[in-house]
Every structure is written in C-alpha cells, then in structure tokens.
Amino acid sequence: MRFDTPATTNPIDQLKIVGQPIHRIDGPLKTAGKAVYAYEWHDPNTPYAYGYIVGSAIAKGRIRSIDVTAAKNAPGVLAVVTTDGVGELKKGKYNTAKLFGGTEVQHYHQAIAVVAAETFEEARAAASLVKVHYAEEKGVFDLAAARDTAVKPDDGEPDSAAGDFNAAFETAPVKLDQTYTTPDQSHAMMEPHASIAAWSGDELTVWTSSQMIDWWRTDLATTLGIDKEKVHIMSPFIGGGFGVKLFLRADAVLAALAAREAKRPVKVALPRPFLMNNTTHRPATIQRIRIGAGRHGRITAIAHESWSGDLPGGGPEVAVQQTRLLYAGENRMTAMRLATLDLPEGNAMRAPGEAPGMMALEIAIDEMAERLGLDPVEFRTINDTQVDPEKPERPFSHRDLVGCLRTGAQRFGWKDRSKRPGSRRDGDWLVGMGVGSAFRNNLVVPSGARVRLDRGGVVTVETDMTDIGTGSYTIIAQTAAEMLGVPVDKVAVSLGDSRFPVSSGSGGQFGGNSSTAGVYAACVKLREAVAQKLGFNNADDVIFADGEVRSGDRRITLAEAAGDEGLVAEDRIEFGKLTETHQQSTFGAHFVEVGVDVATGETRLRRMLAVCAAGRILNPITARSQVIGAMTMGVGAALSEDLVVDKARGFFVNHDLAAYEVPVHADIPHQEVIFLDETDPMSSPMKAKGIAELGLCGVAAAVANAIYNATGVRVRDYPITLDKLINGLPELS
C-alpha cells in the first residue's frame, strides 16, 4: 500500500480497540519471568558452549601478536578465535567501527578475541589468559582540544541558513551568545548485548537482542561473507536498546565465529563493563547558540552551531536539527562540525540530535526570556511557527506546541513560579520550577506484515518488527483486532523473526506508527480476500465486527470465512511525498519542580509533568510509559549521566552501572503525562506519530531551568552536579 495522500476515514477511526487503554499482551509473560530473551533460548538436546570476549586494552594502534597457548590449554576450552587469526572481515553497512577481524585497533575494548569453553566460568578464566602484544599509537580523545580541527562533514546537511543572520543579530536590541556542553552518554539498557549462534551446515541461526532484524541479518551476512538467505535472526524479546541495538554488534559476530570453530552452538553475552567502550554511545557536544530578538520578544535572528567527534567515517551528533524547525525568526543559520576522535563509536541514542540539542537550546530560550523580561512560556508562545521557518512554503502537518505549553502551565500551577531566582525556600530546600519545549521529528519507514486468519477465527500477525519495551506486541494486536472486528484476545502476534516480512524495526520513534501502518495494510488485503471469498462484491458495505463479516443482510463468522485452509494476506506500507510537502514533527512541553539542598547543592526532583501532542495515541498506557521512561532518562541527563573520558588513555572510565549513574527509584517522583487529543492524517493511515523520543527532548533543560529558578545559578555544562552549584548558593546562616 502506498501512502501518498492524507488519510481519510478508515476502520481504525472506530477506536473500539485502538486508542483504548489495553494492558500489554506480553505483560503476564514478562512479569512471570517467562519472556525468553536472547541468552535464554534453551533446547535440552543442544550442548551449548560459552563464549567470553577479550577486549583491547589500548585505544588506538595495532595488534602485534596474540598468544593463546595458555588459553587453549585451560580446562574446558573448545576454541579460541582471534582478530588477527580470522583476518580482515568486511564491515557491515551500519557500523562505523569495525567489530572484529584484522589487526587494527580503533578503540578501547574493541573485540580482539573470543574464547569458547564448556562452561561460562571456564571461558571467563581462559579469556584472562590470552596475552596480547600491542603497538600502541597516539590517539585524539579530547573534544574540546580537538574542536579547532573539526571539519564540515561530507554527508547530510551540516549547514543551513535563511535570511541574513549576522546582520540581524548585530542590530537586535536584545541578544544572547552562549556556549553549552553535553557529555558522552551511555544507553545503559538493562539487558547486555547477547547472542547464541548455531550453524547447521552453511546456515546460521542467531538468537540475539536486536532492534532492527533486517539490518542485523544483512550486516552479519556481510561480515561473515555469506549469503543473507543463509542467516536467520530471532529477537522476540529485547531488554531495552535505546539505539545501541540498532546495528550489528560484536556478540553476534563472536558467537557465530566461535560456533563455527567449536562446531557447537555458542552463547556470548557482553559483560557489563564492556558495554560503554565496546559498543556505541551518544557523543559529547559543544554548542554555541546566539539569539537576537526585538524588545517585545519576537526572535529576529537565531544561530545554533555544534561540535562533536567520532571515529573516521562516522558522523556528527545532529544537535542543531530542532533549531531549524522549532522557533520562528527570519534570519537564521545552523552548522555542525565534526572532529576525528579515537574514542569508541558515537552513534544514535534515543532522540539522536534533538536530545542533546534541546538540552542546550531550551536553556538558551530560558536565558533569552529572562533578558526580555518575559515569562518563558510566553516567550516560546510568541515565537511559535506553523511553517518550516527555513522554507516557509512548507507547513507543519499538524503542530500544537502552544497547546502543550498552555495546558501544561495551567495543570502544573506555573503561575506560582517565583519570578526572582533563588527566592523560594522550603526548609533546607531552595525550590524552583522550570519549563522546556519538547520537539522531535516524526519519521516514517516502510513496514511489512503478514496476517493469517484460521478456522478458529484467530488472527495471527507476523512481522519482523521488534518490541524493545515500547509496546509493539500490544499496539499491533490492537490494530489487527480493530481492522478485523475481533477482540484483542483473538489476535496472536509474532515478532522479531527474520522469516517474517521486513518491518520498520524499532528506532527513531518511527516504529509504532510505521509498523502498525504496515499491519493496517496487510489487514486491508486480508479484508479484501475475505470479501472476495464470500462473494461480497460491494466493498463499501462490508463490515467486520464482533467476529463476523457482514454485507447487506448476510453475516458470516470469520471462522467460517477462513474455512479449513484459512486465509493469509501480506502487504507493506510505503510512504510517498507527504513528508516532503509537509514537515512532520511531534511536540510537547515539560514542566518540573526541583528542590536544591541549600547546604549541599544536591538537586531532587519534586514534580514532573509532560504534555504531548503527537498525533493519535494508539494506546494511552504504553504511550504514557514511553513518556515517563523518557522523562526519567532526561533526569539522568540533567543530573548525573556522564561518560568520563580518560584523556590520556582514551576510554570511558566509568564503564559500569555503579559509576555511570542512571536514575534510580529514589531519584524519580510521581510523573504525570497528558496527551492532547489529536490526529495527524499526513503521517499514516493510523494518524499516529512517534512518542518514545519526544518524551526525552527538553526534559534535561527543564530541570536545568528549574535549578536556575531555585538557586539563581545558571549551569551550562551537563550534568548539573552539585560541584557546579555549590559556590553560587546562598551563605548558610
């Protein structure tokens, strides 16, 4: 099905099941420990072996030699595969850093060997016996020091401009010119990367933890130099990803190579201390923002420049993306510059671009509002735009940022925010409120599905879509149920298997809308097949409801319609030019209240509210969970998350969950989420948009602005730890 004109009325609009607060259909499995994740596949007749990774102890250089004698002779060892022994392997399309193969070391903890043994304990012990001789080279690890070497990237759209920024900024009566920094961050999902690989002749099956089944399948085949048709990927449950499981990772490659060598299925999980340096991270940024405005608060000039680093062949963190679209202003420019760094690969983490970009922009907006003497909600409202400000002929498909800000301000009690920073006190706490807009683009990606109807009237959906905690199982079941007029418990959903039609996968908050649109397309085909089989030729009056299909005064159960052989239909949604003619984005507003301990500078969240305008909400329970989870990650970004770079040796020092501090229960208050009731007919037949990343964008800045409101201390370098506040706090009496 091609989607190139705005959606009109369709069966989803009935909203009998879609849009309803239906509990996760995989909930009982997950809460009872019965959902099977990658490392947990178990066939009692299979003698699994255990693989353990060896990582590079240098950040840059070459492997001179690897001595595996002791490791090979250790108890229980079945195979040792080394990066120099295996030779050069072709790099997959989506990776920047090489995962394995050859003698070049591009980053610390790069995989350089895998040891397979009878047991996990034996493999781990033997891995520690692998001796490596390196030729270490000098690397570049410090973004601030490398900033001047940064260049304009070749790909993408690093620069943009409209009007004459310099002239307008020069003459603006009120101006801001500030620099902000965001640190490297880690996805830190709870399930470490893990794979089990099993060969059968030249065919390979890998149970893994992947957000994008087809990308993994393609890149694993490329890396191993085998035909894609010979690779079977399974990933029905994923213990979180946030972007770090978008692209093939070393665990799958090592498991496949070790299994081939050991002639046994091999399981490999990355140990937690490997995650930060072996995989990808959100790159640090340095961002300069300049805003000029007239005295009444209208922005006349806005510029956003960002510097980030990556390995050769990598790309920039696109932190200026939102500034091209979020606020009005005739004269504008953005630019991104990329430095070469020898740190581990920088790549997508939840809301790449907007998450760190909004961390900076939304502080700048708060600062500018203060200079103008305007309420920050009001300042944002004044500068709303209904068109792409760089290309005013391009309207937004639907945009209600102002509705989010106004609704939020009212619900949160924004009017009680003290106008003078540092003036509200509650015992030992300095109390403040902050706001940040939320903004993230809505992406749409082709997505396929197969739908079966059996003689019991049960509908089965098959697609290689993944559920990374987002609720895909549930919203896909809802979509099929709505389309075919059956209750959710008559729908079975099978995901994450490369034998199924290729879906959008999960990433960039495109999965929910795109994958359900693919299921919609397949269901339209199945409806046609049912009608045709029954000889219902007038498509317009065919109704699917209550487990029946009706036309005129004929009514037949779906079970009967399916018959003994059942019916099956497959289709794929493809998206036309609507994303070019109209800008599709999602909007929101975050409101937070913090207390800052007047003696220690410790910040505690007191209240949090998000208001989101993101098209049709397919399931308010799972959508709300996406948003509260994102708000939580935003608190981490604001207050604690920081991959600390060892600038001499070139690695992230705090590479585990004790030292890389993500929010815990005690850090998070009750969170409220409001969804504005809206649809976006330009996005898909579902009229839905993304929500999972929107919820993150702007949270950290709202916290930063609340801290400023509480203390009068403006911190522009994340995370806002107490050392950055303490010297500005009022004297203790």
Q: Return d(Cα 89, Cα 83) in angstroms, integer.
A: 9
DSSP category for residue 346: B
Compose the 580-599 pattern: x for residues touching another protein by CB under 8 A, - for all others: --------------------
Which of 434, 359, 338, 339 is closest to 178 using CA atoms?
Answer: 359
Task: Mark whether 693 is an active-site residue.
Answer: yes
DSSP state of 49: E
Question: Is the peptide bond preceding residue 719 cis, with omega within 30 degrees of 0?
Answer: yes
Q: According to CB under 8 A, which one of 2, 4, 67, 75 is a site residue for another protein? A: 75
- Assigned token pair, 32: 């009872």
Smallest distance, Å, CB 469 to ligand FES?
Answer: 5
* 33 belongs to the binding site for another protein (CB under 8 A): yes
Residues in contact with ligand FES, counted by CB under 6 A, come to a total of: 3
Neighbours of 86 (CB within 10 A): 16
- d(CA 45, CA 36) in angstroms, rounded, equals 18
Candidates 408-416, 444-452, 622-630, 702-710 — which segment interacts with another protein by CB under 8 A?
622-630
Q: Which is nearer to ligand FES, 492 or 657 (CB)?
A: 657
Residue 39 touches which of ligand FES, another protein, none (Cβ within 5-8 Å per kind) = another protein
* Binding test (CB under 8 A) with another protein, winner from 190, 539, 543, 648: 190
Q: How far is residue 684's CA from residue 692's CA, in Å, rounded to a whole number?
A: 17
In the complex with another protein, the residue whose CB is nearer, 4 or 40, is: 40
Contacts of 71 (CB under 8 A, 6+ apart): 77, 80, 115, 126, 127, 129, 130
How many CA atoms does the CB half-sphere of 55 hold within 13 Å? 20
Q: C-beta of 458: minimal distance to another protein in Å?
A: 18
Footprint of another protein on 249-278 (CB under 8 A): 269, 271-273
The reply to whether 508 sits near ligand FES by the rule CB under 6 A is no
Give me the catalytic one of 122, 261, 317, 693.
Answer: 693
Residue 539's binding partner among ligand FES, another protein, none (Cβ under 5 to 8 angstroms by kind) is none
Least distance (Å) from ligand FES to the CB of residue 632? 10
CA distance 43 to 246: 27
CB of 49 to another protein, least distance (A): 12
Shortest Cβ 501–another protein spacing (Å): 23
**Of residues 10, 16, 37, 547, which one binds another protein by CB under 8 A?**
37
If the CB atoms of residues 187 and 332 are measured against another protein, the closer one turns out to be 187
In 317-409, the DSSP E strands lie at: 331-340
Residues 452-471, one symbol each (x = binds ligand FES by CB under 6 A, - = not), give -----------------x--
Nearest to 94 by CA among 501, 507, 643, 577: 507
The interface with ligand FES within residues 188-207 (CB under 6 A) comprises 190
Using N-to-C axis directions, what is the helix angle for 354-372 and 699-711, rounded to 10°? 30
Taking CA atoms, 401 is separated from 6, 623, 667, 673, 684, in Å, by: 21, 18, 28, 15, 21
Separation between Cα atoms, residue 700 and residue 437, nearest integer Å: 11
The interface partner of residue 94, options being ligand FES, another protein, none and the CB cut-off 5 to 8 Å by kind, is none
The reply on whether position 240 binds ligand FES by CB under 6 A is: yes
Please check whether residue 281 is in contact with residue 265, taking contact to mean a CB–CB distance below 8 angstroms: no
Q: Of the ranges 29-37, 292-300, 540-548, 585-593, which one interacts with another protein (CB under 8 A)?
A: 29-37
The option from another protein, ligand FES, none interacting with 529 (CB < 5 to 8 A, set by class) reads none
Q: Is 492 in the site for another protein (CB under 8 A)?
A: no
Q: How many CA atoms lie within 13 A of 60 on its CB side?
A: 18
The interface with another protein within residues 435-474 (CB under 8 A) comprises 468-471
Candidate list 124, 147, 175, 533; residue touching another protein; CB under 8 A: 124
Asked if 102 interacts with ligand FES (CB under 6 A), we say no
Q: Does 28 bind another protein (CB under 8 A)?
A: yes
324 with 394: CB under 8 angstroms? no
Q: H or E element: which one contains 291?
A: strand 285-293
**Is residue 242 near another protein by the rule CB under 8 A?**
yes
**Minimum distance from residue 441 beta carbon to ligand FES (Å):** 25
Q: Return the number of the residue (112 or 633) whose C-beta is nearest ligand FES.
A: 633
Distance of closest approach, residue 388 Cβ to ligand FES, in angstroms:
36
Q: Are the C-beta atoms of 329 and 389 separated by less than 8 Å?
A: yes
Chain positions 468 to 487 lying near ligand FES, rule: CB under 6 A, are 469
Q: In what order do the strands lie in the sheet with 231-234?
A: 77-82, 111-117, 49-55, 266-269, 194-200, 203-208, 231-234
**Which among 116-124, 169-177, 373-381, 384-392 is the span making contact with another protein, rule CB under 8 A?**
116-124
Measured from the Cβ of residue 225, the count of other Cβ atoms closer than 10 Å reads 8
Residues 137-196 that bind ligand FES (CB under 6 A): 190
- Residue 70 or 190: the one with the smaller Cβ distance to ligand FES is 190
CA dist 406 and 439 (Å) reads 16
Q: Which does 219 bind (CB under 5 to 8 A by kind): another protein, ligand FES, none?
A: none
- In the range 327-366, which residues lie near another protein by CB under 8 A? none
Angle of helix 472-484 relative to helix 511-534, nearest 10 degrees, comes to 30
Site for another protein in 625-664 (CB under 8 A): 625-626, 628-633, 644, 651, 653-659, 662-664
Is 135 a residue that touches ligand FES (CB under 6 A)?
no
Q: Residue 381: what residue type? A: T
The C-alpha atoms of residue 44 and residue 418 are separated, in whole angstroms, by 65
Per CB under 8 A, the list member of 202, 540, 553, 723 interacting with another protein is 723
The residues that are catalytic are 693
> Contact positions toward ligand FES, by CB under 6 A?
190, 240, 469
